[in-house]
Amino acid sequence: MTKETAGTALPGAKGAQTGQTRVIAASSLGTVFEWYDFYLYGSLASYISLHFFSGVNETTGFIFALAAFAAGFAVRPFGAVVFGRIGDMVGRKNTFLVTMAIMGLSTFVVGLLPGYDQIGVLAPILLILMRLLQGLALGGEYGGAATYVAEHAPDNKRGLYTSWIQTTATMGLFLSLMVIMGTRMAMSPDAFSDWGWRVPFLFSILLLAVSIWIRLQLNESPAFQRMKDEGTTSKAPLKESFGEWSNLKIVLIALFGAVAGQAVVWYTGQFYALFFLERMTKVDGLTANTLVAIALLVGTPFFIVFGWLSDKVGRKPIILAGCALAAVTYFPLFNALTWAANPALAEAQRAAPVVVHADQDACSFQFDPVGRNAFDSQSCDVARTFLARAGVSYDNVALAPGATAELHIGDTVVKAPDTANLQGEARAGAIKAFQAEARAALDAVGYPAAADPGRINKPLVVAILALLVIYVTMVYGPIAAMLVELFPTRIRYTSMSLPYHIGNGWFGGFLPTTAFAIVAATGNIYNGLWYPVIIASVTLVFGLFFLPETYKRKMHD
What confidence score (pLDDT) does residue 435 get?
92
Q: Which of 444, 465, 494 is the last residue of a domain?
A: 444
Q: What whole-number distance in Å separates Cα of residue 70 and Cα of residue 64?
A: 10
- Kind and range of the H or E run holding 358: strand 354-358
Q: Total structural domains in the chain?
A: 2
CATH classification of the domain holding 310: 1.20.1250.20
Same domain, 280 and 306: yes
Same domain, 474 and 419: no
pLDDT tens series, the chain, 557 aa:
333 333 334 333 344 344 677 777 777 776 787 678 767 876 787 788 788 877 665 555 555 665 676 677 788 888 888 888 887 887 777 787 888 888 889 889 989 999 888 888 888 889 888 888 888 888 887 777 788 888 888 888 999 999 988 888 778 888 888 898 899 889 998 999 899 999 999 998 988 888 888 778 777 777 677 777 777 677 778 888 788 898 899 999 999 999 999 999 998 998 889 889 988 899 987 899 889 889 988 999 999 999 999 999 999 999 999 999 999 999 999 999 999 999 999 999 999 999 999 988 888 776 655 555 667 778 888 888 888 778 788 999 998 888 899 999 989 999 999 888 878 888 889 999 999 999 999 999 999 988 999 999 999 999 999 999 999 999 999 999 999 999 888 888 888 888 988 888 888 878 877 887 788 778 888 999 999 999 999 999 999 999 999 998 877 55
Q: Which domain holds residue 506?
A: 3-341+454-546
Same domain, 254 and 302: yes
Task: Give SS3 for 109.
Answer: helix
Same domain, 336 and 426: no
Q: Is residue 449 part of a domain?
A: no
Residues 6+ apart with CB under 8 A from 365: 517, 521
Q: Is residue 165 part of a domain?
A: yes
Q: What whole-number distance in Å separates Cα of residue 41 and Cα of residue 244?
A: 38
Same domain, 206 and 71: yes
Query: Do 224 and 91 meet the contact criterion of CB atoms below 8 Å apart?
Result: yes
Same domain, 330 and 298: yes
β 354-358/406-409 pair status: antiparallel
**Beta strands of 192-292 (E only): which ranges?**
none
Same domain, 266 and 393: no
Q: Is residue 64 part of a domain?
A: yes
Same domain, 103 and 215: yes
The distance between the two most distant Cα atoms of the chain, rounded to a whole number of Å, is: 81
Q: Is residue 72 part of a domain?
A: yes
Q: Is residue 427 part of a domain?
A: yes
Q: How many alpha carbons fall within 13 Å on the CB side of residue 77?
A: 16
Q: Is residue 551 part of a domain?
A: no
Q: Which of 444, 463, 479 is the last residue of a domain?
A: 444
Q: Which of 444, 473, 499 is the last residue of a domain?
A: 444
Q: Is residue 553 part of a domain?
A: no
What is the model's pTM? 0.83
User: Residue 274: what residue type?
Assistant: L
Same domain, 434 and 519: no
CATH classification of the domain holding 356: 3.40.30
What confidence score (pLDDT) does residue 28 get?
77
Same domain, 458 and 439: no
Q: Is 459 exposed, middle or buried (0-12, 13-18, 19+ CB in 10 A)?
A: exposed
Q: Is 350 exposed, middle or buried (0-12, 13-18, 19+ CB in 10 A)?
A: exposed
Of 514, 523, 513, 279, the residue nearest 405 (C-alpha): 523
Same domain, 267 and 361: no
What confidence score (pLDDT) does residue 212 get?
84
Residues 6+ apart with CB under 8 A from 260: 503, 507, 535, 538, 539
Q: Is residue 7 part of a domain?
A: yes
Of 497, 484, 538, the residue nearest 260 (C-alpha): 538
Of 297, 356, 290, 268, the residue nearest 536 (C-alpha): 268
What confidence score (pLDDT) does residue 16 get?
39
Same domain, 90 and 146: yes
**Beta strands of 372-425 (E only): which ranges?**
394-398, 406-409, 412-415
